[in-house]
Amino acid sequence: MQASHTKTLLIWIALGIAVLVPIVLSLNSPLLAWRDPVYIAAGLSGALALALLLFQPLLAIGALPRVGLLTGRRVHRWLGAGLTIFIVLHVAGLWVTSPPDVIDALLFRSPTSFSFWGVLAMWAVFGTALFASLRRILRIRPRIWVRVHSALALVIVGGTIAHALLIEGTMETISKVILCAYVGVTTLFALRKALRKPQKRQN
């Protein structure tokens, strides 16, 4: 029993470090010294959105210690809404600081490749939110839900990781790479489990 408690504690500590270290380092970045509060808030929102992606797949399959499957999926839905809000705040903050750059990014005509991947992930998040809201209304079958949601999740995670790694912003490089690696691995693990044996009923 003691070993189980220790394992649980170590897992949560590892997840906490993976999330908190890059966020704290980004807030202490020298690049923020002369930036407006709106820009800082926009950057923080993006970092928090990336952090949430680490927990989402684990919650969806009930893989977090001491968090049951039903509870995990309920939290998964709430964090999905939070992820959408953080992305809106991220884009809105960047819009306030530089509207032309945001317009170019949204129209996929920005010369920077990280903008393309960021916008692609953003639309996938919005598509997931819309799909989830219409799920019960359209009576979407569980198997279809799992496949579509999994495909959108791949786009979200892949696009977000590419966006984060390509951009040279306030996030510290090593901690950012580690967080992105964790997000990628946990997502692939969860998708493999979900697609191999989809639930008959998704709560």
Q: How far apart are CA 199 and CA 194, in angstroms?
A: 8
Which residue ranges in the chain fall short of pLDDT 50?
198, 200-203
Per-residue pLDDT reduced to its tens digit, 95-151: 999 999 999 999 999 999 999 999 999 999 999 999 999 988 988 898 899 999 999
- The pLDDT value recorded for residue 2 is 61
> Is the pTM higher than 0.85?
yes
- The pLDDT value recorded for residue 187 is 96
- The pLDDT value recorded for residue 1 is 56
